[in-house]
Amino acid sequence: MPMPAHEIESAILAALPGAVVAISDLAGDGDHYAAVVTAPQFAGLTRVAQQRLVYNALGGRMGGALHALKLTTIAA
């Protein structure tokens, strides 16, 4: 079962309080998303470290309930 956009957003916001999250369904299938995450927690981190924080927030759902996520991170 695909992961709804609001669940992706909720998981990220729970792990990164104060973040701003914008989710787009790329294929209209509820399985391929793009996310732009702006968070103060990203300050001073490399892009890889920033993205790791987001993927950790998803709790291992990548590749399962969430098939694909194009991720853009921005330090606030």
Length, in residues, of the chain = 76
Asked if residue 1 has pLDDT above 80, the reply is no
Domain ranges of the chain: 5-75
Rounded-to-integer distance, Cα 6 and Cα 67, Å = 15
Considering just the CA atoms, what is the radius of gyration of the chain in Å?
12
Report residue 49 as tokens.
């470290």
Percent of the chain whose pLDDT exceeds 90: 75
- Whole-prediction pTM: 0.92
pLDDT at residue 62, rounded to an integer = 85
Rounded-to-integer distance, Cα 66 and Cα 2, Å = 6
CATH superfamily of this structure's domain 5-75: BolA-like (3.30.300.90)
